[in-house]
Amino acid sequence: MPTEEGTQVFVDATGRRKRLLAVLGFFVALFAALYMGVVGASVVQASDAALTTKATVSTSATASASATATATSSASAG
């Protein structure tokens, strides 16, 4: 269908659509800023937190656990 030159299809002379989009955009931007703030705060807080357990390899603890397991299995087999 041919359209006439200069004819506007969507006309909002009151400005309601523009105001609605501006308010929605404001709330989306506010939510995004709050979300980034929460993520940033959690990253900063997590970097300050100390680990409660540290992975260490101890040969004496492993040998002791192995000996205990062997003694337990020998006692139950006999």
pLDDT digits (tens, 9 = 90+) for 19-69: 999 999 999 999 999 999 999 998 888 766 666 676 677 666 555 566 666
> Which tokens hold the place of 10?
């969507």
End-to-end CA distance of the chain: 96
The band of 1, judged by pLDDT with boundaries at 50, 70 and 90, is low
pLDDT exceeds cutoff 70 at 75: no
Q: Which residue has the higher pLDDT, 71 or 18?
A: 18
Cα-to-chain-centroid distance, residue 39: 7
